[in-house]
Amino acid sequence: YYTDIQLFLSNKNFDAIYIASPHTSHFEQAIACLDHQIPVLCEKPLAINAVQVAKLKSASEKNNTFLLEGMWIRFLPSIKKVLEILGSKEIGLVNSVKASMSFKAPEDEDNRYFDPALGGGSLLDLGIYPVFLAHLVLGKPASVKAVGKLSDQGIDESCAILLQYTSGSHAILDSSIITQSELSAEIAGDRGVIKIQSPWNEKPSSIKVTLYDGGVKEYPCEWEGRGFQYEVEEVIAALKNKKIYSDLYRHEFSLEIMDTLDEVRSQIGVKYGSVE
């Protein structure tokens, strides 16, 4: 194994590299790969702030090299189905998105979940999922409001977010590494509601559509394994077509999400040690 990224890159020939290191290492490792013109699939978050994401976007363009943030659920059949239902206008105009992500992290302050230097806390690990869903359905918000419960180390143990839009729509989102609740998500329109059953961010049991006139439809979610293969297939297709981004998850989308996360962190007072 290697502990020096430059030595690692100089000794191998790669089709692509998957980065799954702690959050605060993503930027340095991804930009090194891009500067060597090696395609990159980097786990979410792509970096720890919008300045870093913008630099990665520029490096991808300058080197004409593929870059994708590993928001793997974007490529799942469940999310594809949700977008199909929304596109049909079956639930009408969307008024709200509600989504939660929580995980009772091991109570060990030495692990990465509680370490600011490693990008610990609920927001980048878990909160990014609900923020992604809100951006996917409603776009970039006009305003962001957030509150959080911080640890003695200064990371967010839990976080609640309200996104507001010029259309009048809103998103209510939350994340936590000290509680564990049902992992479901709801998208409410003026004709009905889409509920992505638990666990909404992986393989939900089903997607349920309930119309206010009494109609109910339920779509079971079934596929082999957890579903990471769909993200891999997207990367392979993009590389075959000599693209530097995925049409389903462009660099600009990663940047918009990080802008929202940056604003949340600013409001709740979270910083990631000396790396910022």
- The pLDDT value given to residue 195: 98
Average pLDDT over residues 21-50: 96
How far apart, in whole angstroms, are the C-alpha atoms of residue 70 and residue 74?
9
Could you give phi then psi for residue 115, rounded to 5 degrees? -110, 110
Ordered domains of the chain (ranges, CATH) = 5-72+235-275 (3.40.50.720), 73-220 (3.30.360.10)
Task: Supply the pTM of this predicted model.
Answer: 0.95
Residue 270 burial (CB count, 10 A): 25
Q: If pLDDT is split at 50, 70 and 90, which confidence band does 112 have?
A: confident
- The pLDDT value given to residue 236: 98
Residue pLDDT, tens place only, 152-207:
989 999 999 999 999 999 999 999 999 998 898 999 999 999 999 999 999 999 99
How far apart, in whole angstroms, are the C-alpha atoms of residue 9 and residue 14?
9
pLDDT above 80 (res 11): no
Is residue 136 a contact partner of residue 73, using CB atoms and an 8 Å limit? no
pLDDT above 80 (res 133): yes
Number of H helices, E strands in the chain: 8, 11
Residue 177 burial (CB count, 10 A): 26
3-state SS assignment for residue 11: coil
- The pLDDT value given to residue 273: 75
pLDDT above 80 (res 122): yes
Q: What is the mean pLDDT of the chain?
A: 95
Average pLDDT over residues 6-14: 85
Q: If pLDDT is split at 50, 70 and 90, which confidence band does 275 have?
A: low
pLDDT above 70 (res 51): yes
Q: Which of 237, 182, 268, 213 is nearest to 91 (CA)?
A: 213
How far apart, in whole angstroms, are the C-alpha atoms of residue 79 and residue 227?
12
Residue pLDDT, tens place only, 212-243:
999 999 999 999 999 999 999 999 999 999 99
pLDDT above 80 (res 266): yes
- The pLDDT value given to residue 12: 74
Residue pLDDT, tens place only, 243-255:
999 999 999 999 9
